[in-house]
Amino acid sequence: MEEVQERLKKVRQYVRETAVDCGRSPDDVQIMAVTKTFSAEVVQDAVRAGHTLFGENRVQEAVAKIPRVQGNTLRWHLIGHLQSNKVRPALQTFQVIETVDSQKLARRIDRVAEDLGLTASILIQVNIGGEEQKDGISPEELGPLVDLACELENLELRGLMAIPPFQEDSEASRPYFRRMRKLFERHRQGRERKFTVLSMGMSADFRVAIQEGSTLVRMGTAIFGPR
């Protein structure tokens, strides 16, 4: 309990300092606690420390874990790949799907959302490093997917998400974050009111991500320790 609380306190402080140092408002950067592989008990410690925004990678793990965490107004985001046969439980479990990366998946989520009588909040995941093995849509194909997501009636497109290629030195991630910021600015034009989230940066590179415009950093190790 105390360990998670202490780490959260430090993370909040680092995030705040980084934002202020680069002339941004600390309120413009949300901190997500990434709970994959950690137990509901450990997550509960973070809730007790006042944390409300969480991320999980797998639908199955989340379906088992989330009902065991007590708390009001907790928000859960899916940050791992979504298979089309898991769309229904994903929409019943998560408030935001951050990993929409194809027109097919967008249409499928729209249909299931209609069926469930809800509006699905989504982010589009961009494969900003052009890595073959990674999920995410290419920057070139992003425009048509943004247009489609805005057209589909049961989707609400809230922004973009990316996981740049792994780097030993976080400074090497800067060009990827910068490119994401440019895509974000370009595609949100005319849609600024709802298109507000740029989800990028993890425990090892959140400072650089914030300097380059991230509005949501996803932190696992820094809050819960090594996996």
Contact positions vs ligand PLP (CB under 6 A): 34, 36, 57, 79, 163, 202-204, 218-222
DSSP 137: B
Give the shortest CB-33-to-ligand PLP separation in angstroms. 9
Q: Which residue has its beta carbon closest to ligand PLP?
A: 220
Closest CA to 217 of 88, 53, 86: 53
Identity of the residue, 30 or 57, whose beta carbon is nearer to ligand PLP in the bound complex: 57
- In angstroms, the Cα distances linking 6 to 11, 129, 227 are 9, 34, 18
Identity of the residue, 82 or 202, whose beta carbon is nearer to ligand PLP in the bound complex: 202
Identity of the residue, 151 or 169, whose beta carbon is nearer to ligand PLP in the bound complex: 169
H-helix or E-strand containing 111? helix 103-116
Identity of the residue, 67 or 225, whose beta carbon is nearer to ligand PLP in the bound complex: 225
Tokens 């309990």, residue located: 1
Identity of the residue, 18 or 152, whose beta carbon is nearer to ligand PLP in the bound complex: 18
* Amino acid letter for position 71: G
- In angstroms, the Cα distances linking 187 to 89, 149, 175, 211, 216 are 29, 12, 18, 20, 18
Q: Contact, 53 vs 79, CB < 8 A?
A: no
Give the shortest CB-198-to-ligand PLP separation in angstroms. 14
- Where residue 3 falls (left for φ over 0; alpha for ψ -120 to 50; beta otherwise) is alpha
The beta strands (E) that lie in the chain are given as: 30-34, 53-56, 75-78, 96-100, 120-126, 155-162, 197-199, 216-219
Identity of the residue, 114 or 135, whose beta carbon is nearer to ligand PLP in the bound complex: 135
Identity of the residue, 96 or 163, whose beta carbon is nearer to ligand PLP in the bound complex: 163
Give the shortest CB-220-to-ligand PLP separation in angstroms. 3
Give the shortest CB-111-to-ligand PLP separation in angstroms. 25
Give the shortest CB-9-to-ligand PLP separation in angstroms. 17
Give the shortest CB-106-to-ligand PLP separation in angstroms. 19
Give the shortest CB-151-to-ligand PLP separation in angstroms. 27
Q: Are strands 120-126 and 96-100 parallel, antiparallel or unpaired?
A: parallel
